[in-house]
Amino acid sequence: MTTPVPQNRVAQWIEYRLPIFSWTNKHLVDYPAPRNLNYWWNFGSLAGFMLVLQIVTGVVLAMHYTPHADHAFDSVEHIMRDVEWGWLMRYLHANGASMFFAVVYIHLFRGLYYGSYKSPREILWWMGVIILLLMMASAFMGYVLPWGQMSFWAATVITNMTSAIPWIGETVVTWLWGGFSVDHPTLVRFYALHYLLPFVLFGVVFIHLWALHHRKSNNPLGIDIKSPKDTIPFHPYYTVKDMFGLGVMMFILLIFTFYMPNVLGEVINYEKANPLQTPAHIVPEWYFLPFYAILRAIPDKLGGVVAMVASIAILFILPWLDSSRVRSARFRPIYKWAFWIFVVDCIALGWVGANTPEGNFIWIGQVTTGYYFAHFLIVLPLIAKFERPTPLPESIHQAVLKGGGGGEDAPAAAAEAAPADAAAAEKT
Amino acid sequence: MRRALLAGLMIGALALFGGHAAHAAGDAPDVPDQDWQHEGVFGTFDRGELQRGFQVFQEVCSACHSLQYIAFRNLVEIGFTEQEAKAIAAEYEVEDGPDDEGEMFYRPARLSDYWPAPFANDNEARASNGGALPPDLSLIIKAREGGADYVYALMTGYEEEAPEGMELADGMNFNHFFPGQQIAMVAPLYEEAVEYVDGTPMTVEQHARDVTAFLAWTAEPELEERKQTGLKVLIFVFVLTAVLFVIYRRVWAKLH
Amino acid sequence: MADAAPSQDSSSEHAGTRRDFLVLAAGAMGGMAVVGITWPLIETMNPSADVLALASTEVDISQIEEGQVIVVKWRGRPVFIRHRTADEIASAQDVSLDDLSDPQPDAERAPRPQWLIVEGVCTHLGCVPLGSKIGDPRGEFGGWFCPCHGSHYDTSGRIRKGPAPANLPVPTYEFLDDTLVRIG
């Protein structure tokens, strides 16, 4: 392992003025990580990598793209046909957005399963939710830039949501558009913001990691780190594991990029935006489908928008809705079920969102939307109140030695769980 | 156990989300699946087919349809020599200018010029086609559900008469595969619509196949480079990942 | 990566060396991957295919009077086409190569003496020299004068005075016939 104080004279000179070597060492080399993190803990670093990949490919695309209503579509085709490797950059960026969301959603559900949002990690969790919101805004505005049919009509439908705001809605929409419909001024401001937001996102990621490294990682057992025996240095153990995870993720992303670059997109977006004709089926990208279903489930314009916003906003107060002291679902027999039902509910919402709201989809959409909120507002508080968690292991170290730490459910039932999560309980 | 469950859910979700796409084409019957040489991991274009398809486009489609993203220089990519491409370009006139007098003028096209559109603008195109706008064909394969299969089906899906009980609107033609089954475009292909010089049979099906392949190329001229690069990159990433996995296991082995 | 292997597996020396090899292999492949990603990123900034396709332009020179210069755009920059008078040709040809800082005979620069075709970009720092329009200063040698830092070019476009290091470059061109020239 590298020594914290560099031996090299030049490095020492730098270190004295800017402690970059000891800082890197502290956070990327010696950082004490719980020794029992499973593969679900790979997704944070994968998300970080995706952000960098999106920024790099995005900057290259921006060099060739023309943010003008008359030229945007043509400039995208110019990238696809004439710019060296332009097709690769665009397909990486477009499919990269999907991969980014997939990775972040898994990261988020991992947090839900293992109770990573609980004390003392509430601010860490909030930063995560803000990151999700920024991602959604960036992805939406990025999708508008090619100025195809779906770009245009997605922009129209989404911006029109603000018109649901009482009294000032119409004014707000006109302000958003910079005109009386989605048009050139809208495109240019979306371009400016699409370029800006990822860097804001980067800043929030930094705070996210700051909070993480301050209170250290959660782990599959959900119990606190109690002694150095519970941890292993980040490098080489998790660096090599993250590299392996990165390889797997890139393999999947590249299969999409090279062999099915358009399956996740809508064909109609290869037709230029036409303000006079709406496509027969307006569908958002897959990562927005559950929210789209919630929007449509409420038969009221304002209500639908409020529900959709609330579906994400509710994550902010999740740490207080779920007041159970035990973090990991491994020791929460009822919550474990509630979690999987919630996952199924979210997938069902996505399925509803992908389909035209007719026939059975209407009530399925309403039931799944209702359950989405009930999960947070009714199910979680009740479980927290009535559930009897199974005994927690004494320490990470002991659990690992008995063979229950890394992989599957059942932890070795360590003796009567000491008030293992006293720290977690304090804050509630 | 849980992993299997999760995998199952994800696959199910993909199938469900993917499934909606099939319904988007409207009430027309499902498009029959065709074999294309450009499909699959090793897909490439057949240059002979592309050139015949170009001929069909040039002699039939281009009367009404534009091909705005294809320049004459691109014809080299489908197997024409630069001289042949120049000769093809020289058959067309494109607007240039203004000249020293400030007038726009026409001159023979060069390699750097794009395929000239048959109509000056959408309004003229509509006026000349009974109100219907012939879409640009550069991206048509990517812009339609079913892609090449759909375009081939459309080309060969015409019937002389609408089935009984169906009333065709004025100026419309019956086509099995067009959404709504009424299409303004008259059946464009017929036996020997285009005279092939390479001895390929001049059937409607062959014309349709060739022009569809050509349009698959205009939509995705990067396809061959993309698939060939992809194969190399994926093999590389697979090996690298496998090596990383072994290292990962070995680094961790001493922990237990 | 290379220091990722504190291979202290005293129990199996063999496993240790094998892992070292694997780490080296992974490091090498990782390096290749980085280069493989960086290279396309850099290449995207090369001139794109449509830009390259426009890299030649044809000019009708039949309307250019003797003594007149026209400026045409080629690859986004100016090209001077000068229909030289007999005096200008003579003054360009009568110069001893010893007097030139970038020696080049006029015959080499203008194979058809009455036509001089040069890129109108000062070889100092890229300004467009004056002298193409009537009334422009043409410098001490009757050719062009660059206003940015005072370089003087003669009627063959050669540098005669000032900071510019070289003559105005002659683009590749070809007379398609007596009135049509293709530059590039």
- ipTM value: 0.90
**CA–CA distance, B189 with B191 (Å, rounded to integer):** 7
B37 touches chain A (CB under 8 A): no
Q: What average pLDDT does range A14-24 have in this prediction?
A: 93
Using CA of residue B210, residue B213, residue B217, residue B219, what is the dihedral sign?
positive
For chain B, the average pLDDT equals: 89
Q: Is the CB of A351 less than 8 angstroms away from the CB of B16?
A: yes
pLDDT score at A231: 95
Confidence of residue C45 (pLDDT cuts 50, 70, 90): very high
A86 touches chain C (CB under 8 A): yes
Confidence of residue B25 (pLDDT cuts 50, 70, 90): very low
**Of all residues in chain B, what percent carry a pLDDT higher than 70?**
89
| Among the listed residues A305, A327, A329, the one whose alpha carbon sits nearest the alpha carbon of residue A409 | A329
**Residue C2 clears pLDDT 50, i.e. is over it:** no
Q: Is the CB of B234 less than 8 angstroms away from the CB of A261?
A: no
Q: Are strands B158-159 and B105-108 parallel, antiparallel or unpaired?
A: unpaired
**Of all residues in chain B, what percent carry a pLDDT higher than 90?**
76
- Here the tokens at position A173 are 């929409």
**Residue A421 clears pLDDT 80, i.e. is over it:** no
What is the distance in angstroms between the Cα of B196 and the nearest Cα belonging to chain A?
29
Cα distances (angstroms) measured from residue A118 to each of A340, A368, A401, C103:
19, 26, 26, 80
**CA–CA distance, A351 with B84 (Å, rounded to integer):** 52
Q: What average pLDDT does range B187-209 have in this prediction?
A: 94
Looking at chain B from residue 235 to 254, which residues have their Cβ under 8 Å from any Cβ of chain A?
Answer: 237-238, 240-241, 244-245, 247-248, 251-252
Q: What average pLDDT does range C151-156 have in this prediction?
A: 94
**A213 is a catalytic site residue:** yes
Q: What is the largest CA-CA distance in chain A?
A: 74
Interface test with B, best of C23, C39, C176, C179 (most B CBs within 10 A): C23
For chain A, the average pLDDT equals: 92
Do residues A80 and A87 make contact, with C-beta atoms less than 8 angstroms apart? yes
**A375 is a catalytic site residue:** no
- Here the tokens at position A320 are 């207080």
Please classify residue A259 by burial: count the beta carbons closer than 10 Å to its beta carbon, then call 0-12 exposed, 13-18 middle and 19+ buried: middle
Q: Write out chain C in H/E/C secondary structure.
A: CHHHCCCCCCCCHHHHHHHHHHHHHHHHHHHHHHHHHHHHHHHCCCCCHHHHHCCCEEEECCCCCCCCEEEEEECCEEEEEEECCHHHHHHHHCCCHHHCCCCCCHHHHCCCCCEEEEECCCCCCCCCCECCCCCCCCCCCEEEEECCCCEEEECCCCEEECCCCCCCCCCCEEECCCCEEEEC
**CA–CA distance, A222 with A393 (Å, rounded to integer):** 10
Q: What average pLDDT does range C100-125 have in this prediction?
A: 93
- Report the alpha-carbon angle A253-A256-A259, nearest 5: 135
Do residues B142 and B220 make contact, with C-beta atoms less than 8 angstroms apart? yes
- Here the tokens at position B194 are 């285009």
Cα distances (angstroms) measured from residue B5 to each of A36, A319, B9, B11, B13:
22, 27, 6, 10, 12
Confidence of residue A411 (pLDDT cuts 50, 70, 90): very low
**Chain C residues with CB-CB distance to A64 below 8 A:** 44, 48
Among all chains, which residue has been given the structure tokens 């009404």? B64
**A217 is a catalytic site residue:** yes
pLDDT score at B30: 87
A82 touches chain B (CB under 8 A): no
Q: What average pLDDT does range B22-28 have in this prediction?
A: 47
**Chain C residues with CB-CB distance to B243 below 8 A:** 22, 25-26, 29
Using CA of residue A274, residue A280, residue A286, residue A292, what is the dihedral sign?
positive
**Residue B22 clears pLDDT 80, i.e. is over it:** no
- For chain A, give me the number of helices (H) and strands (E)? 18, 2
pLDDT score at A282: 87
**Chain A residues with CB-CB distance to B20 below 8 A:** 283, 354-355
**Residue B164 clears pLDDT 60, i.e. is over it:** yes
Q: How many CB pairs lie under 8 A apart between chains A and B?
A: 106
Q: How many CB atoms lie within 10 A of CB C125?
A: 12
**Chain C residues with CB-CB distance to B69 below 8 A:** none
Q: Which residues pair with A33 in a beta bridge?
A: A232
Model pLDDT for residues A28-44, shown as the tens digit of each residue: 999 999 999 999 999 99
Looking at chain B from residue 216 to 235, which residues have their Cβ under 8 Å from any Cβ of chain C?
Answer: 233
pLDDT score at A417: 38
pLDDT score at A6: 74
pLDDT score at A407: 45
- Here the tokens at position B218 are 């205009």
Helices A360-374, A333-354: axis angle to 10 degrees equals: 140
**CA–CA distance, A332 with A136 (Å, rounded to integer):** 32
By Cβ distance, the residue of A77, A80, A286 closest to B17 is A286
Q: Hey, is A286 helix, strand or coil?
A: helix
Interface test with B, best of A38, A40, A230, A259 (most B CBs within 10 A): A259
Model pLDDT for residues A348-397, shown as the tens digit of each residue: 999 999 998 899 999 999 999 999 999 999 999 999 999 999 999 999 99
By Cβ distance, the residue of B9, B41, B240 closest to A247 is B240
Confidence of residue C56 (pLDDT cuts 50, 70, 90): confident
Do residues C130 and C138 make contact, with C-beta atoms less than 8 angstroms apart? yes
**Residue C141 clears pLDDT 80, i.e. is over it:** yes
pLDDT score at A4: 60
**A241 is a catalytic site residue:** yes
- Here the tokens at position C119 are 């890129």
**Residue B167 clears pLDDT 90, i.e. is over it:** no
Q: What average pLDDT does range A70-74 have in this prediction?
A: 97
pLDDT score at B162: 87
pLDDT score at C5: 41
B229 touches chain A (CB under 8 A): yes
B13 touches chain A (CB under 8 A): yes
- Here the tokens at position A19 are 């402690």
The long-range contacts involving B198-201, CB below 8 angstroms and separated by at least 24 positions, are B198/B48, B198/B52, B200/B48, B200/B52
**Chain C residues with CB-CB distance to B239 below 8 A:** 29
Residues 6 or more apart whose CB falls under 8 angstroms from that of C135 comprise none
Q: How many CB atoms lie within 10 A of CB A102?
A: 20
Q: Is the CB of B227 less than 8 angstroms away from the CB of A87?
A: no
Using CA of residue C79, residue C85, residue C91, residue C92, what is the dihedral sign?
positive
**CA–CA distance, A135 with A158 (Å, rounded to integer):** 15
**Residue B227 clears pLDDT 90, i.e. is over it:** yes
- Here the tokens at position C91 are 């003054």
A2 touches chain C (CB under 8 A): yes
- Selected catalytic residue, list A27, A68, A78, A213: A213
Looking at chain A from residue 51 to 70, which residues have their Cβ under 8 Å from any Cβ of chain C?
Answer: 56, 60, 63-64
**CA–CA distance, C48 with C41 (Å, rounded to integer):** 13
Using CA of residue A68, residue A74, residue A76, residue A82, what is the dihedral sign?
negative
Q: Which helix (H) or strand (E) holds B183?
A: strand B182-183
For chain A, list the contacting chains (3+ Cβ pairs, <8 Å): B, C
Among all chains, which residue has been given the structure tokens 């294309």? B36
Q: Which of A277-291, B90-104, B140-154, C147-161 has the lowest mean pLDDT?
A: B90-104
Model pLDDT for residues A153-184, shown as the tens digit of each residue: 999 999 999 999 999 999 999 999 999 999 99
**Residue B23 clears pLDDT 70, i.e. is over it:** no
pLDDT score at A3: 53
**CA–CA distance, C94 with B217 (Å, rounded to integer):** 59
Looking at chain B from residue 86 to 115, which residues have their Cβ under 8 Å from any Cβ of chain C?
Answer: 100, 111-112
Q: How many CB atoms lie within 10 A of CB A418?
A: 15
pLDDT score at B10: 52
